[in-house]
Amino acid sequence: MADRYLRLAATAPGRFLTRRLGLPRPVPLDRWSPERPSLDGPLLLLSAGEPHLALEPVLARTGLPLLGGPPAVPGGAPAGGAASRPAALVLDATGVRTVEELAEVHAALHPRVRSLAPSGRVLVLGAPLDPADPHQSAVQQGLEGFVRSLGKEIGGGRTVNLLRLTDPAAAESTLRFLLSPKSAYVDGQVIEVGEPEGANRCLAEVDRDRPLAGRTALVTGAARGIGEALVRTLARDGARVVCLDVPSAGADLDRVASSVGGDPLALDITAPDAAARIGGALPDGLDVLVHNAGITRDRRLANMSADRWNAVLDVNLGSVLRTTEALLGEGVLRRGGRVVATASISGIAGNTGQTNYATSKAGIVGMVRALAPVARAEHGVTVNAVAPGFIETAMTAAVPLLIREAGRRMTSLGQGGLPQDVAETTAWLAHPASGAVNGQVVRVCGQSLLGA
């Protein structure tokens, strides 16, 4: 269902009315398209604390021209005196270790946030917390509150995120994603990039337009909605996609698979032999496993039958645990592989009438955190999750009007996301050069005002 309010707010009369009445003023987001593959404008690199990362070579490969070359002096004018509005502000705050140095974060961004182009990006680079240094841990943790607050006030379709890293080269695929239109609905997030696993590929070795070429992906719940967007995006990036859904969705499943030259696999993911049948359909192995299949059976707990509870937990969590464990143990998931599961902000913040659904999606978060280090150490496979917020699908179109409007407007971006937003985030996590991203749960929610 079209977001008529978003369209109205983008018109001149709509801007006048929303300003006079104090209503939300969402800005249509600039998402990736073949015609618009990158942000429109230069990147300005700033610093706070003692800069020690060699960022310029990596940032130069994002496709955005660097404005002013070396990091600008906090509070000073951009080097070179360039007048064009930056599409991205990148602040290297990895060297901030004291409360006094936090003032440099303010000094660097305070004079520049208003100059950021609409649908621009603010990306703060932080360091991992040092448990041996309470001062460093305190101020680096403080950057999370800073980023989430700035994201709620900056407006204009702009996003603000925090990336913790030690090696810019290991974070190159992540930098490219966060500084592109593909991350339009990822806002207020904290992402950690560690050391890459041995099978991680250098970004320079990967086809920029088809990074998944030669790799096989399996998407569950592929017949419609977010699943269909996942299939199309992974196929766009070069993957051979096996599309799995329940037999009753066979017509839609065949349609989606044939549209991308993929293979349909009609299968109930909760069946006892599901993992064995998946392995049989993939004799040459699997590189990307995307757990997207999920159901809802909403009721308040007092009115929820055991059947409703058990069905949701089995599809959304039990099948994910069983299938992942089996495909890893049997070697179907090859080294250098990626597991991306779908969580939800309901599993992070809870939601009325969804105790079963929220339990299952919180369970996904727990699985990712526990399995990620083991899967990488033993199998060379990374494990991450996306946690969608309000996404415009046929399911949310059936939600009552007032609840639907609340879901759309209660975000920093003032609008719902699209299935494409979830798919783009998944494709980044599935990237061959994203091996240093492991154990992360990334909300794709436009910084929902519910939850952390």
- Alpha-carbon gap, residue 403 to 87, rounded angstroms: 34
Please tell me the predicted confidence (pLDDT) of residue 402.
72
Q: Is the dihedral of CA 365, 371, 377, 380 positive or negative?
A: negative
Class of domain 203-444: alpha beta
Q: From the centroid of its chain, how far is CA 117?
A: 22
* CA dihedral sign, ordered 363, 142, 108, 25: positive
Q: Which two tokens stand for residue 136?
A: 């460093």
The 3-state DSSP class for residue 33 equals strand
Write the DSSP string, 144-183. HHHHHHHHHH--TT-EEEEEE-S-GGGGHHHHHHHTSGGG
Token code pair at residue 361: 């999606």
Q: Are strands 88-95 and 190-192 parallel, antiparallel or unpaired?
A: unpaired
CATH number of this structure's domain 31-192: 3.40.50.720
For 256-277, b where at least 16 C-beta lie within 10 A, e where not — what string?
A: bbeebebbbbebbbeeeebbee
Tell me if residue 88 falls in helix, strand or coil.
strand
Q: Is 44 within 8 Å of 117 (Cβ atoms)?
A: no
From first to last of its 452 residues, what are the pLDDT tens digits of the chain? 678 888 888 888 888 888 888 888 889 999 999 999 999 999 999 999 987 788 999 999 888 999 864 443 343 344 443 447 999 999 999 999 999 999 999 999 999 999 999 999 999 999 999 999 999 999 999 999 999 999 999 999 999 999 999 999 999 999 999 999 999 999 999 999 998 765 556 666 788 899 999 999 999 999 999 999 999 999 999 999 999 999 999 999 999 999 999 999 999 999 999 999 999 999 999 999 999 999 999 999 999 999 999 999 999 999 999 999 999 999 999 999 999 999 999 999 998 899 999 999 999 999 999 999 999 999 999 999 999 999 988 777 677 777 777 788 889 999 999 999 999 999 999 999 999 999 999 999 999 876 55
Judge if pTM exceeds 0.75. Answer: yes
| Per-residue pLDDT, 78 | 42
The residues of the chain that CATH labels 3.40.50.720 are 31-192, 203-444
Q: What is the pLDDT of residues 218-254, one digit of tens each?
A: 999 999 999 999 999 999 999 999 999 999 999 999 9
Sheet of strand 240-245, all strands in order from the earlier edge strand to the far edge = 263-266, 240-245, 216-220, 286-291, 333-342, 382-388, 441-444
Cβ atoms of 232 and 427 within 8 Å: the answer is no
Instruction: List, by residue number, the catalytic residues.
Output: 357
